[in-house]
Amino acid sequence: MGWQIVSNFKYTKLLSERKCIFAGKMKLLVEELREKRTLGDAGLMELLTSEDPSADACLFAAARETAEAHFGRQVFLRALIEWSNICRNDCLYCGIRRSNPDVRRYSLSRESILRCCENAWRLGLRTFVLQGGENPPAAEKLAGLVAEIRASWPQAAITLSLGELPADTYARLRQAGADRYLLRHESADPAHYARLHPAGMRLENRLACLRTLRELGYQTGMGMMVGSPFQTTGNLLADIRLLERFRPEMIGIGPFIPHPATPLGAYPAGSSERTLRLYAILRLMHPDALIPATTALSTLRPDGRTAGILAGANVIMTNFTPAVERAEYALYEGKASLAVETAENIRKIHEELAAIGRTVSPSRGDYQENHSQDTDNHV
C-alpha cells in the first residue's frame, strides 16, 4: 500500500538521521547503562546534562531499541478523564490548587464519566484513567462508579490518580476493580519537596501511600516534573535513584510549566531536552516500565509525543474530558489538546505514530515483567 511505503520511508530516513554516530565517551556510558541497567552517579550526570546532540542521538537510539525489544513497535493509548478539579491541596506549582479562586470547580456526573468511557472504548482505547484533585470523601464515593465501569467494560483497565488517600479508601477502590494508580512523588529530596508544597505535605507520607498502593496490588506509577523551581541536577539524580529502588510499573515525567495564578508562576519552564533524556535514561534502567510521553511535553513542543516515543517512551495519554470542563482542569498554562476534538485527536495520533513506524496497541497495556533483574523493592 502506498501510504505504508511512504511512512516506512520516512521512518527509515528519520532513523538514519538520528542514528548513533558518536564514538566517544558518551557512547561507552550509554552502552554500559544499556547492559547493566544502572550507572554510577558521575555517568548519569554526564548523560543528563550533556548538551551534545550526537550524545543525545546515541542515548535515544539505545532507549528506542530497548523499548522495541520489550514492546515491539506498539504504543499504548490511555483515555484521560479529568473527573474533578476540586482539590484540598495547595501545591505551589499547580493551577487547580485550593487557593486559586479563578478556577470554576466541577465534578463530572456519573453519566458524563460513563459517556467518556463509552467514547474511549469505541475509539479503541483499553485503559481509562480517572484523574482528579485530592478529595478523600469524593474519592471514597467513587468506588461505586469504579465497580460500574469494571462491570460494563470487563476488558478495560482502570487507572486512578486521585492523590493521597487513606489506606482503606485505596483498598475499597482496588476491590471495586481499579488496576493501577498514579501518584507522582514530585521530588525525592525532602528539602526540595518542601519548597514545592505547603507545610503539612510531606514526602514521607507520599512514599507511604506508594508502598500501600503496591501492597494492595495496584500497578503503581510515580514520577516528577523536570525543571521544577529550585530543582538541581542532584535532585534529579536522587529521583532516578528513588525510581531505581522502588521500581514502579509506570514512570510519569513531564517538564514543569508555570501557571501564572500560582506562587511559582514566574519561574521558567523545564527543558524538553532534559525531559527526553530522562525518558531515555529511565527506559534503559527500566526496560519493562510503562513510560508516557506526557501532555506537558506536548505543550512545550508540538512534536512532543513522537519525540518522546523516539526517546524510549511507550505510552500516550489522550484527553477524553468533555470540552466544557477540560478548560477548568488547567494544571499549567497553555495545556496541549485544550481545543482538540477527541476523535480527531486519536486520528492524528495514529497518523503521527505511523510516520515514525509505530502502531497503536490493541491491548490494555498492563505491566509485564520480561527480563527485569532481581532487585529489592524497598524505598
- Under the binding rule (CB under 6 A), the answer on residue 226 touching ligand 5AD is no
| The dihedral formed by the CA atoms of 78, 325, 270 and 279, expressed in degrees to the nearest 10 | 0
Say which residues have a Cβ less than 8 Å from residue 17's Cβ, sequence separation at least 6: none
Rounded least distance, CB 324 to ligand 5AD, Å:
20
267 belongs to the binding site for ligand 5AD (CB under 6 A): no
Is 254 near ligand 5AD (CB under 6 A)? yes
Encoded amino acid at 35, one letter? E
Residue 93 binds ligand 5AD (CB under 6 A): yes
Task: Report the alpha-carbon distance of residue 34 to residue 42 in Å, rounded.
Answer: 16
**Antiparallel, parallel or unpaired: β 315-319 and 359-360:** unpaired
By the 10 Å C-beta count (0-12 exposed, 13-18 middle, 19+ buried), 252 is classed as: buried
Smallest separation, CB 247 to ligand 5AD (Å) = 19
Nearer to ligand 5AD, 257 or 282 (CB): 257
Helix then strand count (H, E) for the chain reads 15, 9
User: Closer CB to ligand 5AD, residue 31 or residue 333?
Assistant: 333
Q: Is position 256 an interface residue for ligand 5AD (rule: CB under 6 A)?
A: yes
Stretch that binds ligand 5AD, among 65-73, 103-111, 249-257, 275-283 (CB under 6 A): 249-257
Q: What is the total count of residues that contact ligand 5AD (CB under 6 A)? A: 12
C-alpha torsion sign, points 162, 168, 172, 177: positive
Q: How far is the CB of 234 from ligand 5AD (least distance, A)?
A: 19
When the beta carbons of 262 and 361 are compared against ligand 5AD, the nearer one is: 262
The answer to whether 211 touches 263, Cβ cutoff 8 Å, is no
Of 60 and 256, the one with the shorter C-beta distance to ligand 5AD is: 256
Instruction: Name the residue nearer to ligand 5AD (CB basis): 265 or 357.
Output: 265
Query: 299: closest CA among 281, 324, 284, 319?
Result: 319
Q: Helix or strand or coil: residue 158?
A: strand
Assess 203 for contact with ligand 5AD (CB under 6 A). Answer: no
Q: Which is nearer to ligand 5AD, 204 or 344 (CB)?
A: 204
In this chain, which stretch among 17-25, 80-88, 256-264, 361-369 interacts with ligand 5AD, using CB under 6 A?
A: 256-264
Nearer to ligand 5AD, 64 or 184 (CB): 184
Cβ atoms within 10 Å of 101's Cβ, excluding its own: 6
DSSP H helices, the chain, are 2-18, 25-36, 41-49, 53-71, 110-122, 136-152, 167-176, 190-196, 203-215, 233-246, 272-285, 295-300, 304-310, 323-326, 342-355
What gap in Å lies between CA 287 and CA 266, rounded to an integer?
Answer: 36
Q: Does 331 contact ligand 5AD by CB under 6 A? A: yes
In the complex, least distance from residue 355 CB atom to ligand 5AD, rounded to whole angstroms = 27
> Using CB atoms, what's the residue nearest to ligand 5AD?
332
The conformation of residue 182, written as its DSSP 8-state character, comes to E
C-alpha cell at 320: 477524553
Q: Confirm or reject binding of residue 332 to ligand 5AD (CB under 6 A).
A: yes
Nearest to 132 by CA among 140, 122, 144: 140
Closest CB 273 distance from ligand 5AD, rounded Å: 16
Choose, by CB under 6 A, the member of 59, 240, 257, 300 that binds ligand 5AD.
Answer: 257
Q: How far is the CB of 145 from ligand 5AD (least distance, A)?
A: 20
User: Between vectors from CA 87 to CA 119 and to CA 325, what angle results, nearest 5°?
Assistant: 35
Which of 209, 296, 307, 310 touches ligand 5AD (CB under 6 A)? Answer: 296
Q: How far is the CB of 332 from ligand 5AD (least distance, A)?
A: 4
Nearer to ligand 5AD, 50 or 187 (CB): 187
Please tell me whether residue 329 binds ligand 5AD under the rule CB under 6 A: no
Q: Which residue has the cell 521558567?
A: 268
Name the segment binding ligand 5AD (CB under 6 A); options: 99-107, 110-118, 251-259, 271-279: 251-259
- Where along the sequence are the contacts to ligand 5AD (CB under 6 A)? 93-94, 184, 186, 225, 254, 256-257, 259, 296, 331-332
